[in-house]
Amino acid sequence: MEVNEKIAVEHGLKPDEYQKICDLLKRVPNLTELGIFSAMWNEHCSYKSSRLHLKKLNTKGKKVIQGPGENAGVIDIGDDDAIVFKIESHNHPSFIEPYQGAATGVGGIMRDVFTMGARPIANLNSIHFGSTQHKKTKNLLRGVVKGIGGYGNCIGVPTIAGQTCFDQSYNGNILVNAMTLGLVNKNKIFYSKAAGINKPVIYVGSKTGRDGIHGASMASAIFDDKIEEKKPTVQVGDPFTEKLLLEACLELMSDKSIIAIQDMGAAGLTSSSIEMASKGNLGIELNLDKVPCREEKMTPYEIMLSESQERMLIVLENGKEDSAKKIFDKWNLDFAVIGKTTNSKNIELYFEKEKVANIPIKFLANEAPMYDRPWKKTKVPQKIKFSNNNFKKLKFNDVIKKMISNPNICSKQWIWEQYDHTVMGDTIQKPGGDAGVVRVHGTRKAVASSVDSSASYCYAHPFTGGKQVVCEAWRNLVSVGAEPIAITNCLNFGNPEKKENMGEFVECIDGINEASKYLNFPVVSGNVSFYNETKDKGIKPTPTIGGVGLLKDYENIISMNFKSKGNLVLAIGKTEGSIDQSVFAKVILDEKKGPPPEINLFNEKNNGETILKIINEKLALSVHDVSLGGIMIAALKMCIKGNKGVKFYKFKGLINIYQYFFSEDQGRYIIEVDKNNLKKVESILKKNSVHFDLLGETTDKEIIINDELTFTVDKVAEFYKGWLYKYMS
259: region left, alpha or beta (phi > 0 left; psi from -120 to 50 alpha): alpha
β-strands 702-705, 645-648 pairing: parallel
| Residue 247 or 598 having the CB closest to another protein | 247
DSSP H helices in 220-263:
239-253
User: Which of 177, 219, 123 lies closest to 544 in space, CA to CA?
Assistant: 177
Least distance in Å: CB of 506 to another protein? 41
Q: Per rule CB under 8 A, is residue 240 in the interface with another protein?
A: yes
Judged by CB under 8 A, the residue of 75, 222, 424, 471 near another protein is: 424
Q: 537 to 576, contacts with another protein by CB under 8 A? A: 554, 557
Q: Which stretch binds another protein (CB under 8 A): 168-176, 298-306, 420-428, 652-660?
A: 420-428
The CB-of-157 to another protein minimum distance in angstroms stands at 8
Q: How many residues bind another protein (CB under 8 A)?
A: 32
The answer to whether residues 561 and 251 touch, using CB atoms and an 8 Å cutoff, is: no
Please identify, among the stretches 393-401, 418-426, 487-495, 641-649, the one whose residues bind another protein according to the rule CB under 8 A: 418-426
Catalytic residue, candidates 11, 53, 90, 624? 90
Q: Which of 11, 44, 214, 624 is catalytic?
A: 44
| 53 is a catalytic site residue | no
Q: Give whole-number Cα distances, 423 to 122, 180, 428, in Å.
A: 10, 15, 11
Region of 426-434, 513-521, 652-660, 714-722 interacting with another protein (CB under 8 A): 426-434
Candidates 49, 177, 390, 427: give the one binding another protein (CB under 8 A): 427
Binding part of the chain for another protein, among 30-38, 149-157, 172-180, 270-278 by CB under 8 A, reads 149-157
Integer Cα distance of 329 and 323 in angstroms? 10
641 interacts with another protein by CB under 8 A: no
Told to judge if 134 belongs to the known catalytic residues of this protein, a careful annotator would answer no
Site stretch for another protein (CB under 8 A), options 17-25, 147-155, 352-360, 626-634: 147-155
272, 264 contact by CB (below 8 A) = yes
- 3-state SS class at 39: helix
Q: Interface residues for another protein in 320-359 (CB under 8 A)?
A: 330-332
Residues 6+ apart with CB under 8 A from 20: 369
DSSP assignment, residue 639? Answer: H
Question: Which residues in the 472-511 window bind another protein by CB under 8 A?
Answer: none
Distance linking the first and last C-alpha atoms of the chain: 52
Cβ-based neighbour number of residue 359 at 10 Å: 21
Stretch that binds another protein, among 2-10, 425-433, 474-482, 580-588 (CB under 8 A): 425-433
Q: What is the CA radius of gyration of the chain?
A: 26
Q: Could you say whether residue 674 binds another protein (CB under 8 A)? A: no
Residue numbers 378-417 binding another protein by CB under 8 A:
416-417
CA angle (701 as vertex; 696, 703 as ends), nearest 5: 45
CA distance 165 to 2: 47
In the list 48, 86, 401, 430, the residue contacting another protein (rule: CB under 8 A) is: 430
**Based on CB atoms, which residue is closest to another protein, 222 or 424?**
424
How many Cα atoms occupy the beta-carbon half-sphere of 302 within 13 Å? 15
Sign for the CA dihedral angle at 442, 446, 447, 448 comes to positive
Closest approach, Cβ 84 to another protein, in A, equals: 19
User: Which is nearer to another protein, 76 or 420 (by Cβ)?
Assistant: 420
Q: What is the 3-state secondary structure (H, E, C) of 283-327?
A: EEEEEHHHCCECCCCCCHHHHHHCCCCCEEEEEECCCCHHHHHHH
The amino acid present at 65, given as its one-letter code, is: I
Q: How far is the CB of 644 from another protein (least distance, A)?
A: 18
Q: Based on CB atoms, which residue is closest to another protein, 241 or 501?
A: 241
- 56 vs 330, beta carbon nearer another protein: 330
Q: Which residues are catalytic?
A: 44, 90
Q: Which residues contact another protein by CB under 8 A?
A: 146, 149-150, 153-156, 238-241, 243-244, 330-332, 416-425, 427-428, 430, 439, 554, 557
